[in-house]
Amino acid sequence: MKFVKDIVIPVLVGLAIFFLLRALVEPFVVEHSSMWPTIEEGEYILVDKVSYHFHEPERGDIVVFRPPWNFGRPYIKRVIGLPGDVVEIKDGAVFVNGNRLDEPYAGWTQDILPAVQVPEGEYFVLGDNRNNSYDSRRGWTVNRKDIVGRAWITYWPPSRWKIIEHAALRIQAGLVVPGYVGGILCLTR
């Protein structure tokens, strides 16, 4: 009985805590510079896997997802187009439903993309470092089921510890107004 009390029970409790934490958050290493300067290559981040059980991804969220063509290597990008949105890029400026996005976080590019409608259940994503990002401009979107979660905290290296800021992009009367919200888990709307 002493063996069970001293060894087995603490091991089982430790495993339960580990699996509970893994269900809530997941660590990832950013392997490319596609989200620079918001998130830098080599940073370790925690991804909130709970929020999207209470609400859908929103325009401006930075999400980690598993692309269907590259199992095991997750990508990190910013949600630009929601299901049903029409996204277009003219001379580097992104338009959603005919309204130009003000993207102070994004690097400049000369890209052009004819208007495309985001399919239902899919999301149009772009990297902030537009000149160095493989993203939805290449003709693909992200299925909702492939989204792991919302980028939350950068925890390594310690000098770059931060709560990741997400741009809350809202379309109002023909204008797209940027605002920033912290990456803290929010269970209410």
Residues known to be catalytic: 34, 77
Stretch (H or E) spanning 11: helix 9-24
**In sequence order, which residues have a C-beta less than 8 Å from that of residue 142 and are 6 or more positions away?**
63, 65, 67, 77, 122, 123, 124, 125, 136
Neighbours of 74 (CB within 10 A): 21
How big is the CA angle at 31 (ends 17 and 119), to the nearest 5 degrees?
Answer: 85
